[in-house]
Amino acid sequence: MEKTKESWFQRVEKMHPYQTLMYLGMFGSGLIFLFMTVAFLASGTGYFEQYGHKIPKAFIMSTFVILYSGFTVSKLLVYFNEENLEKLRSTLILTAILGLVFTLLQFFGWRELTLMGVDFRGLPSGSFLYVLSGIHIFHLLGVLVFSVIMLVQYTRNSKSEIHKLLMMTNPFERMRIRLFTTYWHFMDMIWLILFLVFILIF
């Protein structure tokens, strides 16, 4: 007997509530960035031509940082499947540090923009640069807080072989790492799109 293909709604119904909430959050965040980016482009980007296509160096550096963090975060599920808690912890720490470095570089990027004369007192298009990157930082800080929570739990469970075994064989923990990885990649993608937009207007 042929199996009937599941509808999109049926697949959603089978998702864990955490998965549903995260995907809904990603959808909502995506719409916010889409509308803000469209408003930014519609506000008149010819204002930036006077800066001679000099995008802040800190934004360029932060792009490389977040690309590398996308590579490190993809290793989390690999180490979980290998039941290697030490590598899982160290890679999560490295990913969180890269996220903090990215955030710090964003502030340096804002400083560069200010020194160039792009600030909130000028045309609306200049303000959008701060708002778009600021909203992205806000979303990234949320996932960084979650990484700290995961690290605390991993450190606590590493002290007991029984707790370690229970955690590393727990399907819920695998799902949680997968959700964390997916959301981090989503933040990577959002920044890359914003960075490409910034390149186009500078």
pTM above 0.85, yes or no: no
Q: For residues 131 and 186, is the Cβ–Cβ distance under 8 A?
A: no
d(CA 28, CA 34): 10
Ranges 103-107, 155-159, 176-180: which has the least confidence: 155-159
Q: Domains of the chain: which residue ranges?
A: 56-201
Single-letter residue type at 67: L
CA 37, CA 194: separation in Å to the nearest integer? 8
User: Does residue 13 carry a pLDDT above 50?
Assistant: yes
Q: What is the mean pLDDT of residues 9-33?
A: 75
Residue 99 has a pLDDT of 95
Structure confidence at residue 123 (pLDDT): 58
pLDDT tens-digit map of 36-72: 888 777 766 555 555 555 788 999 999 999 999 999 9
Task: Look at residue 16 in the predicted model and tell me its pLDDT.
Answer: 65
At 122, the pLDDT band (50, 70, 90 cuts) reads low
Task: Tally helices (H) and strands (E) across the chain.
Answer: 8, 0
Q: 7: burial class by Cβ within 10 Å (0-12, 13-18, 19+)?
A: exposed
Q: What is the pLDDT of residues 135-176, one digit of tens each?
A: 999 989 989 999 999 999 888 887 888 878 788 888 888 889
CATH architecture of the domain 56-201 equals Up-down Bundle (1.20)
What confidence score (pLDDT) does residue 25 get?
A: 83
Nearest-CA neighbor of 180 among 150, 135, 137, 136?
150
pLDDT score recorded for residue 103: 95
What pLDDT was estimated at residue 101? 96
| 135 vs 18, higher pLDDT | 135
Mean pLDDT of the chain: 83
DSSP 8-state class, residue 117: T
Which bin fits 3, alpha (ψ -120 to 50), beta or left (φ > 0)?
Answer: beta
184 with 141: CB under 8 angstroms? no
Q: Supply the pLDDT for residue 47.
A: 57
Question: What is the per-residue DSSP string for 93-112?
Answer: HHHHHHHHHHHHHHHHHHHH
The pLDDT, as a whole number, for residue 46 is 58
Q: Burial of 94 by CB count in 10 Å (0-12 exposed, 13-18 middle, 19+ buried)?
A: middle
Res. 32 pLDDT band, cuts 50 70 90: confident
CA distance 192 to 135: 14
Spatial distance between the Cα atoms of 190 and 196, rounded to a whole number of angstroms: 10
Closest to 108 (Cα-Cα) out of 67, 61, 142: 61
